[in-house]
Structure 1
């Protein structure tokens, strides 16, 4: 019996590569991660039995995609796809085409860069601007984002439907949509995960096929390491809403 988690292969749709000696970090980064090389990731990937992966551009590199192109090449473009970070005001279709040729199949919105992490109106504007930059160029590309305010989802929902979904862009959110397991629920939820702010909006988007949720980064939404048992009910509710809209990422 195989000891690998994925003996028949599988996709890891959220991992990073950081090689700062080879590609220096953006001086305006909000985070300085430790090195995480392509060799070490390939060892990790092999240990689980994974066959394919999606390399998510580290925000510490800003909107410079040169490292992403190099890393996807090192990992093997026949088994690796990439998610880039762009500047929606300056990125031109020719640059998007070059990214596509290099195995890039989506973008990640850097909410931090626009000072929008804690500002709902700025988040709306930032998501809409990135959607416009992709619109009409590559059908099927995805657009991913992470934010720390689940209570924003109710007001983001109509903007997502109007400005993103209507353009044929696949919207993805990381790390359980930052919805919490029982161990991190606010007291007013009284242990009921469905009562947390943003839950119904996320569930509605998932049910309609308008939002993909990554099952990743459990340490962000639960204190019950290492197995994070309190996230099982959350995953079950999302799965029952629409199993086609859930993705798994190691967050390596």
Structure 2
């Protein structure tokens, strides 16, 4: 394994600033979790994130509403206000059946620039038809009232993208919604590929369809949470082919997020599991960032870390 030898310094990695487009804040003592949550995380406070932000060297961030808070964005708006001076926008979770246009406009005025779709609510994590329903319902609500907002959508079945692609092209993009997927679209690096792929990341289900959407400018992808798609931490060297594939497809559609404080892998939990506090993963974000920086050009790095997130969230 090759170890990246250049010293890790904030000024070296982010000479023009940088965005972390996927992090969370959890403060259950201030804001109670939803009773029907899928996960109970330990506290991860605003101050702890500010310390992390300073250590890494980023200048802006996108606070992603934790699904443990359900569709109540009270906590998100409070955290964004608290982080506001540090250049933070928000991505919320909504109930499309009950939210009003006035509430959406108020969210926008408070720095919210998108939503994420809670597949657990739809019992859709493993059901592509229910995923289509969830996407349609959220697009129907935010399309007319929040043009330009992003809609984040993450699931554990990359093979579903072939069936989702026509709907994205025909319904979501024409509605003015900018679709984002987290965590490498959960395409796997070599260390997590099934045996039939023989170590070739391009042979896994969904690879071609995802790259086609990225190439066409119809899908943003966050290079976030490498531990969800690779077993080779802390440097995740086997992710280089995937990183290069995404950037070669379209460098203007690629973003970076930490996934701080590093919640465990997505899965459908029993009620007992969901209510039991689950610890965070131990991740060396600095070493991962050094690896990532070594695989890309200065122009690609600036696009991923500055210009792309500014265009998507910073307006």
TM-score above 0.5, yes or no = yes
Any idea what the Cα deviations from partners look like across 1:146-189, whole Å, max 9, x if unmatched?
Answer: 10111111101111112211111110000000000001111111
Distance 1:231 1:2, change over 3 A: closer
Partner of 1:143: 151
* Structure 2 contact 222–256 (Cα < 8 Å) conserved: yes
Residue in 1 aligned with 2:274? none
> 1:199-247 CA deviation, whole Å, 9 max, x = no partner?
1110000000000000001100000011111111101011000000000
* Displacement over 6 Å in runs of 4+: none
Q: Secondary structure at 1:213's aligned position in 2? A: strand
Select between 71-80 and 31-40 the one with higher mean Cα deviation.
Answer: 71-80
How far does the alpha carbon of each residue in 1:104-157 deviate from its partner, in whole angstroms, 9 at most, with x for none? Answer: 000000011110001110001111110111112122100001101111111011
Distance, in Å, in 2 between the alignment partners of 1:2 and 1:74 is 29
Equivalent pairs counted in the alignment come to 252
Contact 1:77 1:103 in 2 (8 A): no
Can you give the 5+ residue segments of structure 2 that lack an aligned partner in the other structure?
1-6, 261-315
Task: Indicate conservation of the 8 Å contact 2:59/2:86, yes or no.
Answer: no
Structure 1 stretches of 5 or more lacking a match? none
CA distance in structure 2 between the partners assigned to 1:121 and 1:133 by the alignment: 19
In structure 2, the partner of 1:197 is 205
DSSP 3-state at the match of 1:237: helix
Separation in structure 1 between the aligned mates of residue 136 and residue 146 of structure 2, nearest angstrom? 16
For residues 73 and 185 of structure 1, do their structure 2 counterparts lie closer, same or farther at Cα, with a shift above 3 Å needed?
A: same
2:82 equivalent to 1:74:
yes
- CA–CA distance in 1 between the matches of 2:106 and 2:144? 16
Q: Which residue of 2 aligns with 1:218?
A: 226
Partners of 2:218 and 2:113 in 1: CA distance = 18
Shift of 1:7: 4.0
1:227 maps to 2:235: yes
1:27 has 2:35 as partner: yes
Residue 152 of structure 1 is matched in structure 2 by 160
Q: Deviation of residue 77 (structure 1)?
A: 5.3
Secondary structure in structure 2 of the residue aligned to 1:135: helix
> In 1, Cα distance between the equivalents of 2:193 and 2:8?
37
* Correspondence for 1:127: 135
**TM-score (structure 1 length as normaliser):** 0.98
- Map of 1:174 onto structure 2: 182
Distance of 1:192 and 1:2 partners within structure 2:
31
In 2: Cα distance, 1:21 partner to 1:229 partner = 39
The aligned counterpart of 1:3 is: 9
Task: Kindly indicate whether the alpha-carbon contact (under 8 Å) linking 1:26 and 1:61 is maintained by their aligned counterparts in 2.
Answer: yes
